[in-house]
Structure 1
Amino acid sequence: MSARILVVDDVPANVKLLEARLSAEYFDVLTASNGAEALDICAHSECDIILLDVMMPDMDGFEVCRRLKSNPATHFIPVVIVTALDSPSDRVRGLEAGADDFLTKPVSDVVLIARVRSLTRLKMMTDELRMRAITSLEIGMEAPERSAIADKGVGGRVLLVDDRPSSYERLAPILSAEHTVDVEINPAEALFHAADGNYDLLIVSLSLENYDGLRLCSQARSLERTRQLPILAISDADNNARLLRGLEIGVNDYLLRPVDKNELLARARTQIRKRRYTDHLRDNVQNSIEMAITDALTGLHNRRYMESHLSTLAEQASSRGRPLALMILDIDFFKSINDTYGHDAGDDVLREFAVRIRKSIRGIDLACRYGGEEFVIVMPETDIQVAGMVAERLRRSIAGETFAVNKGTKRIDVTISIGLATLDHKDEPVADVLKRADIALYRAKHDGRNRVVSTAA
């Protein structure tokens, strides 16, 4: 797994040592000797992880970390503080500055590489989400980095899996000061509990009496509903081998017993902030996808989606020997509505028209705004007689009830013309069906509007 690692330390010997260790594992290594240089490199280079010393002359590592995490352009880069400071208060200070982990010198090669690999996997996943969501900024959606920077990581839902009363009776009250906490003392039920509970963080003791805590962590990573749930493992100090194994299978962070109260809260806040950030990214991706295929005004699918999906529906109908009907709908005299009542009134008509379309079709039917005041409805498993009945019912629903416009101050009459065609033989191009429906629509308009016309091949 290749990644670009920035090593920041003012002691050349420390830099060379870390550079050699990481290069031996085929990581690409950049170096900086002070905080200002590190910030400049991060501003101009793509770094995947930063290994950051604390004791530096111009700007200490805590301040560098705070600046990185408060900048939307670098907020998402994992920062590991690597320092000789080893007191719980130092670790908490680093975590509160935004660090993703805190390693005490001298750091063993195995621990260092395991942590870097674990954070690299998470960074690559986040990068993929960020790339997919990047267009959300162009369409006016909020950048998730800004809300992530403001997020304090409190008010989360935490599931603590621990079967020792002496342990969970101490940990749960500490966590409850900032979060809603559920305790699961039966590890066999924990996975179901986690899947159903909409949690922000799963904390697992690796010292369970009759259950393998690592197996529970692995199962949580393999289950779709808990795959993205952050996992914080709590282990005895002499359990390094199991902790390293946990990082390999997807544990996000860990604590060693005896657990420091403030460090527990700081690490929980860090993981919950990350969870919310990645959830926001995923929401942006989903919203971007929906906006790309949806007409913003009516909420129906747009022409791009129809053109890509129509061929699939036609192929399915042909291969199964089933009918497929297609109708094009056009609002009569729509230009005069805009000219007489204003474009806002025209938008009101289009929105209400989309609502009535939805009420008149089935769940398997595809309704799209084709452009302007034209709409297309594709009806699988539907022959010409049934499609004609649906089209006539829709026509009547439009003509039979006036449309409210201009915030309900006026009501106007609206009618539509509909052209209808069906897929008549197996090898017919779907574009020909659409063209025949358009010809039928033209006849409906020519013959007086407010009517349904179907056309044969």
Structure 2
Amino acid sequence: MLASILVIEDNPANLELMSYLLSAYGYSPHTATDGAEGLRIAGREAFDLIICDIHLPQTDGYEVARQLKADPVRRTVPLIAVTALAMVGDRDKVLAAGFDGYIAKPIDPETFVRQVEAFLRPDKRKNAPDPPASVCDAPVAVPTRHTVLVVDNLPVNLDLARSILEPHGYRVLVAEGIEDALTAARMHPCDLVLSDVCMSGGTGYDLIKRVKSDPRLAAIPFVFITSTMLNEADRAIGLGLGAARYLFRPIEPEALLSEIESCLREAGRIARGDDSDR
């Protein structure tokens, strides 16, 4: 049986990406969004490895490490720090606090699971030497037929979108802001725009207004996806501006794929009954 892994991380996008990558390799990820919750879960369930951020609400990663390593039952469980700390001496401080290893943020989706596996017992690791198609750059069997422009100012969200969409035959273009997104959409014909709402240099609402006011782009289905603007009033604003969908993070990969496919079909870009992209 592959490893059961606890991930303690307060950033929803980072938590979603790490959980997705671990699941893609066949591991069983469990999650906590603050240190206190992580300690409670670790106290009632057995894990083969624990991944923990340093900067956490309520109880930080250093305190999590102190309590876990003081517990005779859990002190032998490998504890890995995943953190953006990058100052001289930070790595030594993390290891001195009781962590068994250190992975720097932003994580690399192509190497993250292999880094984690280095701390697992051999009998708890995945035997297959190659990563699954969902997180590698190898050509996929599904032909590329539709192009999705993903707009987000967080690289971790752009990486997550690629890892979900590309294995299912989608060509993914990325942009980190409004002007870059408009330039990309005008230079490279795309079939759908998937955009965050809160971004630097303007919001997703600003972007959709400009997309819908441009005759060359107005017909492109526009989908919002957000982890911050989560109430029905926000959804109403997005849909009122012409969005085909307003989705909330975290979202299961299959649910996101289904929503995108439905939007493409509704816009006449996939014929009804044509599932060749899936």
Common fold, TM-score beyond 0.5? no
Name the larger-Rg structure: 1
Greater helix content: 1
Scaled by the length of structure 2, what TM-score is found? 0.43
